[in-house]
Amino acid sequence: MTTARELALNVLQSLETGKERSDQILHKLLQHSTLNRIDRALSTGLVNGVLRYRLQIDFIISHFYHHNFEKAAPVLKNILRLGVYQILFFNKVPDWAAVNECVKLARKYKGERLSKLVNGVLRKITPESVTLDVWLKDKKIEDRLAIHYSHPQWLVKRWIEAFGKEKTQSILIYNNQFPSFGFRINRLKTSPEQLFSDPAFADEHEECGMENFFLSKDFKRFEPAVTDGRLTVQNPTQGLACLLLNPAPGSVVVDLCSAPGGKATFMAELMQNSGQIISVDLYEKKLLRMEAHAASLGITIIKTVAADARSFVPDIRPKALLLDAPCSGTGVLGRRAELRWKLSPGMLLELQTLQAELLDQAAEILDKEGVLVYATCSLEPEENNVQIERFLQRHPEFIAGAEGAILTLPGERTGFDGGFCQRLYKMA
C-alpha cells in the first residue's frame, strides 16, 4: 500500500518530467489511493511544503551531503527534500519518524547503500545544526533573499530592481504563506446580506474591501455554496480587470483567452445576465468545463468559441473586449509554488511575443470608440506597462484610459494576489 510520504514522492517525481500541475497530479493520485483523511492532508502538505521551500532545502542539504547534490538522482533529491522539510518545517511529525520513513523510501527506490546515505545525511540535519543566517551573511542581497525565501535568484534580482528591497521582501513573505481562498458572491443568486445571515458562514470570512468578494481560510465551510452556484472561487485581484472594463447590461463583450472562465462569469454577473459574452479559448475541453460552471451560476449569456485568439474574428465588432493574456504568472507564485522552478528568462521573452500578437488582434477586431482591457497575473514590467507602451506606439489610434493601470503586488493588500490590468480606448 502506498503511504502518504510515498504518494508525495510520486507527485514530486511526476513534476520532474511532466507538464501537469502539482494539484492536478495530487488529485489524480489521491483519487486512486486508500489513504485516510489525515494521511491525505499529510501528502498534500508535504508536496506543497517541499515545492515552496525547495531552494532553501537544497541549500541546507548541500552543507551535509558530501557529494555534488545537483548531480544526485532526482528520486534521491526528492526523498532528502521530504525528510528535511519534515525535520525543519513540519512540527506535526517527530524527527525520528521522518528519517525512518525516508530511509524506507530510499531503500525501496535506490537500494540499501543509498538508504544508508539518506539516514546519515538526515540524522545530521536538526534545527540546531542549521545556521542559515551565518551561511548567508556574506552573500549578495539577491542571493540571501532568494535562498531564505526560496525563490529563483534571477527573479528576486528583477524584483529588487523593479520594486526595491522592502517590497520584494513583502512579496516573498506573502508567497510562502498559506494563501486564503477568495470567494465572489453571485449577485444573480444571492447577496452578502443573505449569504452571511446563515450562521454557518457569518464568522468564517474576512472582508477584502471589494464589493461581493471576501476571503476565508476555510474552503470546506463554503463548499456547498460553491456547488450550488452562490459562490465562485476567485481572488479579488482577478476581479479588478472586469470592474475596469465595466461592461453594461445588454452589451456585447469579447473575452479572449477566456478559460477557465472566472472573469467571463463575473462580467456576466455585472451585466445582470443581459447581453452576450463571446468567450474565446484555444482548448475546447476547458470551454466545456466553463459552460458547466456558468450553468451552475445561472448564467445564460456566455457563448464559447474554440479558436486561436490571435486570428479570431467575431461576426460583429464589439465595443468592449477583455484580453486576459497568457503570462509568466509571477503574481500567483504563492498558489502555484512549482511555477517558480519552471519559469526562465527565455519563457518571459516568448510570452512577450505572444502577448503582443494577441494585443494586435484585439486592436483589429475592437470597434471604434471601444474599450480594451489588458490583464495579466504577472508582476513583470515587460509583460505589463512596457507591453502597453509598445502597443500604443504600434497603435496610435489607442489611448490609455484616465483610470490608469492597476498593478497589485502580493502582500500589498491583505489576501490579494499579484496582477496587472490596463484600460485602453480606441478612438473614432
**67 in a domain, yes or no?**
yes
**189 in a domain, yes or no?**
yes
Q: What is the pLDDT of residue 214?
A: 96
**43 in a domain, yes or no?**
yes
**Parallel, antiparallel or unpaired: strands 213-216 and 181-185:** antiparallel
Q: What is the pLDDT of residue 402?
A: 73
Q: How far apart are CA 262 and CA 271, in angstroms?
A: 14
Q: What is the pLDDT of residue 184?
A: 98
Nearest to 357 by CA among 379, 387, 328: 387
Q: What is the pLDDT of residue 174?
A: 95
pLDDT at position 203 over 80: no
Burial environment of residue 157 by CB neighbours within 10 A (0 to 12, 13 to 18, 19 or more): middle
Q: Are residues 384 and 401 in the same domain?
A: yes
Distances (CA, A) of 87 to 54, 79, 121, 405: 14, 13, 12, 44
Query: How much is the average pLDDT of 353-360?
Result: 98
Q: Are residues 409 and 298 in the same domain?
A: yes
Q: Report the CATH number at residue 279.
A: 3.40.50.150
Nearest to 292 by CA among 302, 280, 282: 302
Query: How much is the average pLDDT of 184-212?
Result: 91
Q: Are residues 276 and 413 in the same domain?
A: yes
- Condensed to tens digits (0 to 9), the pLDDT of residues 276-327 reads 999 999 999 999 999 999 999 999 999 999 999 999 999 999 999 999 999 9
Nearest to 104 by CA among 86, 79, 75, 126: 79
Question: To the nearest whole number, what is the mean pLDDT of the chain?
Answer: 95
**131 in a domain, yes or no?**
no
Query: How much is the average pLDDT of 392-401?
Result: 95
- Condensed to tens digits (0 to 9), the pLDDT of residues 12-33 reads 999 988 788 999 999 999 998 9
Q: Are residues 144 and 207 in the same domain?
A: no
Q: Are residues 67 and 188 in the same domain?
A: no
What would you measure as the largest C-alpha separation in the chain, in angstroms?
75
* pLDDT bracket for residue 120 (50, 70, 90): very high
Give how many domains the chain has, as a whole number.
Answer: 4
Q: Are residues 362 and 380 in the same domain?
A: yes
Q: Are residues 89 and 13 in the same domain?
A: yes
* pLDDT bracket for residue 92 (50, 70, 90): confident
Q: Are residues 344 and 408 in the same domain?
A: yes
Q: Are residues 33 and 82 in the same domain?
A: yes
- Condensed to tens digits (0 to 9), the pLDDT of residues 361-372 reads 999 999 999 999
Q: What is the pLDDT of residue 18?
A: 77
Q: How far apart are CA 11 and CA 25, in angstroms?
A: 6
Q: Report the CATH number at residue 206.
A: 3.30.70
pLDDT at position 199 over 90: no
- Condensed to tens digits (0 to 9), the pLDDT of residues 56-82 reads 999 999 999 988 999 999 999 999 999
**130 in a domain, yes or no?**
no
Q: Are residues 217 and 254 in the same domain?
A: no
Q: Are residues 252 and 364 in the same domain?
A: yes
Three-state secondary structure readout of 186-237 = CCCCCCHHHHHCCHHHHCCCEECCCCCEEEECCHHHHHHHHHCCCEEECCHH
Do 114 and 15 contact (CB within 8 A), yes or no? no
Q: How far apart are CA 412 and CA 400, in angstroms?
A: 24
Instruction: Report pTM.
Output: 0.93
Rounded to a whole number of angstroms, the distance between the first and last alpha carbons of the chain is: 68
Q: What is the pLDDT of residue 363?
A: 98
Q: Are residues 86 and 165 in the same domain?
A: no
pLDDT at position 404 over 80: no
Q: What is the pLDDT of residue 77?
A: 97
Query: 158 is in which domain, residue-wise?
Result: 136-175
